[in-house]
């Protein structure tokens, strides 16, 4: 559907850049960018970059199809290396960074306001990073079932509640870390865990980082904080699970106590505007 009849942004957010990391995955990135194009979403950003590790002609064609500037590297850099290089090749003060398989859930709604609210929150110092994955329609590979093993909903059967209570007694630290994912399982997570989850007047959430892991799936962050704090800490903790032989940011930050100990505030768009839509297997 053409986007000329959709709600238009009041202005381009000149200090916000959109970076899309795409190692191959051309079906995914085309599908993703088509939703952005249909929504007029690309118009929101003062800077745009399609970053293409192990660059191929097909990636360059995708960039041309959607009129997005591109840069690339001759070799695959992995997820951590790719995000780092992409951010280094951008200049905006704030960045919305994504892998290539997070499409807009609905191009025909107001997708600008959640982005603008998140940027304002980061600029004010209210939060440190923002997420936009849809809470009810997140797409595959969310892994929120573990939360229910520790914190079942009120509708769960009595046996599940008893079993969860025992798990919380046996593993209290793990139970605490599971609270944040209740944003995907509870209708009112801030009522259940008010010390670590706050609901803003907009309906969006703030979730403390001791209860919610770092996630790469489309986040907004201050460029300097990402390159000078998040990336160095991930690089200091490389180990454990690798993807295609490369570190991921997620594994490294979430195996280190740093992310939890800082008690950063993670903004979570409610209900969110993106869903995971990977169309090819690329090793993970």
Domain boundaries, the chain: 12-141+194-279
Render pLDDT for 23-63 as a digit per residue (tens, 0 to 9): 999 999 999 999 999 999 999 999 999 999 999 999 999 99
pLDDT at 283 over 50: no
The domain covering 12-141+194-279 belongs, at the CATH homologous superfamily level, to Spore Coat Polysaccharide Biosynthesis Protein SpsA; Chain A (3.90.550.10)
Render pLDDT for 83-112 as a digit per residue (tens, 0 to 9): 999 999 999 999 999 999 999 999 999 999
What is the rounded distance in angstroms from the CA atom of residue 50 to the CA atom of residue 99?
Answer: 10
SS3 126: coil
pLDDT at 281 over 60: no
pLDDT value for 152: 97
What is the rounded distance in angstroms from the CA atom of residue 168 to the CA atom of residue 151?
Answer: 8
**Quick one: how far is CA 168 from the chain centroid?**
28
pLDDT value for 241: 81
DSSP string for 37-106: HHHTGGGGEEEEEEEETT--HHHHHHHHHTT--EEE-SS--HHHHHHHHHHHT---SEEEEEETTEEES-
pLDDT at 10 over 90: no
pTM: 0.93
Q: Average per-residue pLDDT in the chain?
A: 93
Q: Which two tokens stand for residue 3?
A: 């986007």
Q: Which of 75, 81, 92, 76 is nearest to 19 (CA)?
A: 92
Render pLDDT for 187-199 as a digit per residue (tens, 0 to 9): 999 999 999 999 9
pLDDT value for 84: 99
Percent of the chain scoring above 70 in pLDDT = 94
Between CA 68 and CA 142, with CA 140 as vertex, the angle to 5 degrees is: 100
What is the rounded distance in angstroms from the CA atom of residue 137 to the CA atom of residue 254?
Answer: 24
Torsion sign over Cα 209, 36, 228, 72:
positive
The beta-strand segments (E) located in the chain are: 13-21, 45-52, 70-72, 94-99, 102-104, 129-131, 197-199, 205-208, 219-222, 265-268, 274-276
Q: How many residues does the chain have?
A: 284
What angle in degrees, to the nearest 10, is found between the helix axes of 57-65 and 26-39? 10
């Amino acid at each position: 559907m053409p986007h000329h009849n959709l709600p238009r942004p009041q202005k381009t957010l000149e200090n916000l850049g959109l970076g899309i990391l795409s190692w191959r995955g051309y079906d995914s990135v085309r599908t993703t960018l088509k939703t952005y194009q249909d929504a007029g979403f690309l118009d929101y950003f003062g800077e745009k970059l399609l970053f293409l590790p192990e660059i191929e002609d097909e990636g360059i064609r995708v960039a041309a199809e959607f009129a997005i500037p591109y840069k690339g590297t001759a070799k695959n850099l992995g997820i951590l290396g790719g995000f780092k290089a992409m951010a280094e090749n951008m200049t905006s003060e704030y960045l919305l960074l994504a892998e290539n398989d997070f499409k807009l859930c609905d191009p025909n709604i107001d997708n600008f306001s959640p982005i603008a609210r998140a940027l304002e929150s980061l600029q004010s110092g209210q939060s440190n990073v923002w997420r936009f994955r849809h809470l009810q329609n997140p797409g595959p590979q969310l892994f929120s079932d573990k939360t229910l093993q520790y914190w079942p909903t009120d509708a769960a059967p009595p046996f599940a509640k008893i079993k969860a209570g025992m798990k919380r007694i046996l593993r209290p630290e793990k139970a605490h870390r599971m609270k944040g994912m209740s944003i995907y399982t509870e209708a009112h997570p801030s009522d259940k865990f008010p010390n670590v989850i706050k609901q803003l007047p907009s309906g969006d959430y703030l979730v403390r980082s001791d209860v919610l892991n770092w996630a790469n799936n489309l986040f907004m962050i201050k460029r300097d904080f990402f390159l000078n704090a998040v990336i160095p800490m991930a690089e200091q903790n490389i180990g454990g699970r690798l993807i295609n032989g490369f570190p991921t940011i997620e594994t490294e930050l979430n195996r280190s106590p740093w992310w939890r100990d800082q008690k950063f505030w993670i903004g979570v768009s409610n209900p969110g505007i993106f869903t995971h839509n990977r169309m090819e297997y690329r090793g993970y």
